[in-house]
C-alpha cells in the first residue's frame, strides 16, 4: 500500500510538472501569435497606405538624418503619416531578416491622429520611435523574455513614453532583449534569437540588441534603450550606431520598469549601488542630442519629481573650445582585439591634430571593480534573487552557465573557488561562473560594499581632476561577436561595466571598420596570457572584415552635454 501510494505521488508530481510545462508552452505560443497578428495588421495598414499614396519616395525618406527629417516635418513638406508608414514598412523587412521586434504598437495610428490634431508641434513631431521591450507602453507586455511576465499587461505608459508622446514622437515598435536582460546575446525562449543586420552570422549585442538591429537595418531612426553593464553601448558598438548611457538619474522615470514585480531582481535593474540608465540610440550624435533635449523638458520633471530639473544645455553641446582629453586603449583587465585599440590610437591622433590636448590615463584596479564592486552588487545573495526569476521558466541557452552555477551548493562554490585560486585566469573564470563571486553575508557587509563603491568613485574622480581632464577617450568591446559567443565571455565587458559602477555618462561613436590588416594582427593576439578566454575572444571576433569599429567617450556625472559634444567632435574627425 505504501509503495502504491508512493508510486501514485510520483505519477501525480510528474503530471503536475507536465501540465506546468504545457501551460508555459501555451503562453509562449500565445505571445508569438499575438506578435504575428500585430505584424499582419501593420503590413495591411502599410499596404492600404501604399495604395492611397503610391508616389512616396521611400528611400529618400529613410536616408534623411533625424535633424533634417524633423525640419521637413515641422515645415510640412513631409507628413507624419508618410514618415510613419515608410518606417513601418522598413521595420517589417528588417525584423524578417533579424527577428528584432517583440511586437508592433497598433496604437501608433491613434498617436498619429492625435498629433495631427495638435496646434503645438513638439521637438520630435512625427518621428517614429522604437523602444526596448521592458520600457512600459500602455496595453502591452514588457516581458524581459520571462514567462511570468506574459500574464501582465502594462496599465499605463511609462514616464519616458509619455514624454516622447508629448513631444510629438510616435512609439511604433518594441524590440527584443535577452532573457532577464543579464546577457549581451539577445536571445530568449519566447521570441528567439536576434541577428545583426550587417552580418546575420553575428550578434547585435545586448541587452538592447533588438534596438541595435532595427536601427542599423534602417527600420527605426531613433530608439530608447537601457544600460546597466553596457546594454546601450555594446549594441551600438556591434551595429555601428551612436548610443548614450547618461548619468542614471538624468532620465530616470517612475513607472518605466517591468510588468511583473518578480522580474525586478532578475533583470538586475534595481540596485542602490549600480544604477540602470535609460538613453537614446541612433545613427548620429546630433540625433542623440535632439532626443536628450526633447526628454529633458518640463513634462519629464513634473511627471517624475525624482529627475533633477536640469534642461539640456545647448551652449555646452555647441561649444568649440579645445578639450583636455584623457585616454587609454586598454583597461589592463580584458585585452580587446587589435582593431578596437587601433580605433582609440587613430582617434587620439585626430583629436591632437585638431588642437585638443591628450593626456594618458590609467584606470585604477579594474579586476577589483569587476569582481568585487560590480558582480558582488548583483550576486550579493549568492544568486538567489536571480534564480527566483527562472522558477518555472524555460532557461535560454545563453544563460544556462550562470543559472547552473548559481544552483551550486554554497560549500561546492567555496571549494571550487579555493581550488582554482592559484590559477592565473581565475578572475575571468569567476565572471563566467558568476556564482563564485563572494557574497554579502550580512546587512553590515552590504552597507560596507556600498561604501566601497563610493570610495572607488571618489578616488577615480580625484585622479581625473588631478589631471584636469574634461573628457575621456577609451575602448569598447567589439567588433560584433559571432552568435553564441557573448554567453562565453561575460568578463569581456569590463570596458563598459566600469562606467555603470562610476555612474558617468558614456557614449559610443563608430569611427572605422575592421580591415584585412586587423584580421592579420588578430592571428597574433595573445590577450592576457593566451588562456582559454583569450582564445575564445579571438574566435568570437574573427572574420569580421568590414564590420564597425567604435570608441567610447566619457564625461563626469551630469555632464551629458559635454559627453555628446566630445562624441560629436570624434564623429566629425572620423
Annotated catalytic residue: which of 90, 132, 376, 488?
Answer: 132
How big is the CA angle at 538 (ends 533 and 541), to the nearest 5 degrees?
120
- How far apart CA 164 and CA 161 sit, in angstroms, is 5
Does the annotation list 187 as a binding residue?
no
Does the annotation list 229 as a binding residue?
yes
Per-residue burial over 274-298, b if 16 or more Cβ lie within 10 Å, else e, is bbbbbbbbbbbbbbbbbbbbbbbbe
- How far apart CA 178 and CA 574 sit, in angstroms, is 32
Give the residue from 89, 158, 161, 78 showing the smallest Cα distance to 126: 78
235's grid cell? 549594441
- How far apart CA 327 and CA 108 sit, in angstroms, is 43
Whose cell is 545647448? That residue is: 314
CB 350 within 8 A of CB 574: yes
CB 171 within 8 A of CB 178: no
Give the residue from 139, 186, 191 showing the smallest Cα distance to 161: 139
Identify whether 41 is a catalytic site residue. no
How big is the CA angle at 504 (ends 442 and 478), to the nearest 5 degrees?
100
- How far apart CA 564 and CA 561 sit, in angstroms, is 5
- How far apart CA 474 and CA 86 sit, in angstroms, is 37
Per-residue burial over 191-216, b if 16 or more Cβ lie within 10 Å, else e, is bebbbbbbbeebbbbbbbbbbbbbbb
CB 149 within 8 A of CB 316: no
Whose cell is 592565473? That residue is: 424
Q: What burial class does residue 12 get, using C-beta atoms within 10 Å of its C-beta: 0-12 exposed, 13-18 middle, 19+ buried?
A: exposed
CB 141 within 8 A of CB 268: no
DSSP designation for 181: G
188, β-bridge pairs: 192
Does the annotation list 226 as a binding residue?
no
Estimate the crossing angle of helix 108-117 against helix 80-98, to 10 degrees. Answer: 160
CB 269 within 8 A of CB 181: yes
Q: How far apart are the first and last CA of the chain?
A: 80
How big is the CA angle at 214 (ends 213 and 220), to the nearest 5 degrees?
150
- Residue 144 half-sphere exposure, CB side, CA atoms within 13 Å? 29
Helix or strand run (H / E) with residue 520: helix 516-522
Annotated catalytic residue: which of 180, 183, 226, 231?
Answer: 231
Give Cα separations from 355 to 48, 324, 326, 553 (angstroms): 54, 10, 14, 17
Annotated catalytic residue: which of 187, 203, 207, 405?
Answer: 207
Does the annotation list 236 as a binding residue?
no
Question: Which residues line the annotated binding site?
Answer: 181, 207, 228-231
Give the residue numbers marked as catalytic: 132, 207, 231
Question: Which residues line the annotated binding site for substrate?
Answer: 181, 207, 228-231
Amino acid at each position: 500500500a505504501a509503495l502504491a501510494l508512493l508510486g501514485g505521488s510520483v505519477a501525480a508530481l510528474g503530471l503536475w510538472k507536465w501540465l506546468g510545462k504545457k501551460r508555459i508552452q501555451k503562453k509562449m505560443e500565445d505571445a508569438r501569435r499575438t506578435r504575428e497578428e500585430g505584424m499582419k495588421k501593420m503590413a495591411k495598414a502599410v499596404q492600404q497606405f501604399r495604395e492611397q499614396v503610391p508616389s512616396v519616395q521611400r528611400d529618400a525618406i529613410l536616408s534623411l538624418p533625424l535633424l533634417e527629417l524633423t525640419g521637413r516635418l515641422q515645415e510640412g513638406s513631409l507628413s507624419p503619416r508618410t514618415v510613419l508608414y515608410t518606417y513601418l514598412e522598413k521595420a517589417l523587412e528588417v525584423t524578417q531578416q533579424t527577428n528584432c521586434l517583440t511586437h508592433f504598437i497598433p496604437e501608433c495610428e491613434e498617436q498619429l491622429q492625435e498629433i495631427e490634431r495638435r496646434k503645438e508641434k513638439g521637438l520630435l513631431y512625427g518621428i517614429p520611435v522604437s523602444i526596448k521591450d521592458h520600457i512600459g507602453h500602455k496595453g502591452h507586455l514588457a516581458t524581459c523574455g520571462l514567462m511570468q511576465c506574459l500574464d501582465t499587461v502594462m496599465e499605463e505608459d511609462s514616464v519616458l513614453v509619455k514624454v516622447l508622446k508629448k513631444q510629438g514622437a510616435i512609439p511604433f515598435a518594441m524590440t527584443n532583449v535577452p532573457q532577464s536582460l543579464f546577457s549581451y546575446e539577445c536571445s530568449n525562449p519566447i521570441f528567439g534569437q536576434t541577428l545583426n543586420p550587417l552580418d546575420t552570422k553575428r550578434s547585435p549585442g545586448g541587452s538592447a540588441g533588438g534596438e541595435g538591429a532595427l536601427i542599423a537595418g534602417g527600420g527605426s531612426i531613433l530608439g530608447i534603450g537601457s544600460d546597466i553593464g553596457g546594454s546601450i553601448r555594446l549594441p551600438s558598438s556591434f551595429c555601428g550606431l551612436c548610443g548614450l548611457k547618461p548619468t542614471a538619474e538624468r532620465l530616470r522615470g517612475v513607472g518605466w520598469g517591468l510588468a511583473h514585480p518578480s522580474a525586478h531582481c532578475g533583470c538586475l535593474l534595481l540596485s542602490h549601488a549600480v544604477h540602470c540608465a535609460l538613453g537614446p540610440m541612433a545613427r548620429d550624435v546630433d540625433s542623440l542630442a535632439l532626443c536628450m533635449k526633447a526628454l529633458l523638458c518640463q513634462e519629464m520633471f513634473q511627471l517624475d519629481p525624482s529627475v533633477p530639473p536640469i534642461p539640456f544645455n545647448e551652449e555646452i553641446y555647441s561649444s568649440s573650445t579645445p578639450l583636455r582629453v584623457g585616454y587609454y586603449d586598454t583597461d589592463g583587465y580584458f585585452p580587446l582585439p587589435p582593431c578596437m585599440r587601433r580605433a582609440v590610437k587613430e582617434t587620439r591622433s585626430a583629436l591632437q591634430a585638431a588642437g585638443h590636448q591628450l593626456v594618458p590615463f590609467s584606470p585604477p584596479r579594474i579586476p577589483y571593480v569587476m569582481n568585487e564592486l560590480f558582480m558582488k552588487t548583483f550576486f550579493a545573495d549568492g544568486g538567489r534573487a536571480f534564480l527566483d526569476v527562472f522558477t518555472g521558466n524555460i532557461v535560454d541557452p545563453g544563460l544556462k552557465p550562470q543559472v547552473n552555477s548559481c544552483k551550486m551548493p554554497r560549500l561546492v562554490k567555496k571549494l571550487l573557488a579555493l581550488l582554482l585560486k592559484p590559477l592565473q585566469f581565475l578572475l575571468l573564470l569567476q565572471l563566467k561562473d558568476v556564482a563564485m563571486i563572494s557574497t554579502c553575508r550580512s546587512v553590515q557587509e552590504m552597507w560596507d560594499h556600498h561604501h566601497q563603491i563610493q570610495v572607488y568613485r571618489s578616488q577615480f574622480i580625484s585622479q581625473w581632476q588631478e589631471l584636469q581632464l574634461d573628457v575621456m577617450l577609451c575602448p569598447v568591446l567589439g567588433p560584433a561577436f559571432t552568435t553564441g559567443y557573448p554567453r562565453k565571455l561575460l568578463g569581456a565587458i569590463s570596458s563598459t561595466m566600469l562606467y555603470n559602477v562610476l555612474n558617468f555618462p558614456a557614449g559610443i561613436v563608430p569611427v572605422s571598420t575592421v580591415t584585412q590588416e586587423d584580421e592579420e594582427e588578430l592571428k597574433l593576439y595573445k590577450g592576457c596570457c593566451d588562456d582559454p578566454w583569450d582564445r575564445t575572444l579571438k574566435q568570437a571576433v574573427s572574420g569580421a572584415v568590414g564590420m564597425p569599429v567604435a570608441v567610447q567617450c566619457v564625461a563626469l556625472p551630469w555632464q551629458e552635454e559635454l559627453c555628446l559634444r566630445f562624441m560629436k567632435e570624434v564623429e566629425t574627425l572620423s
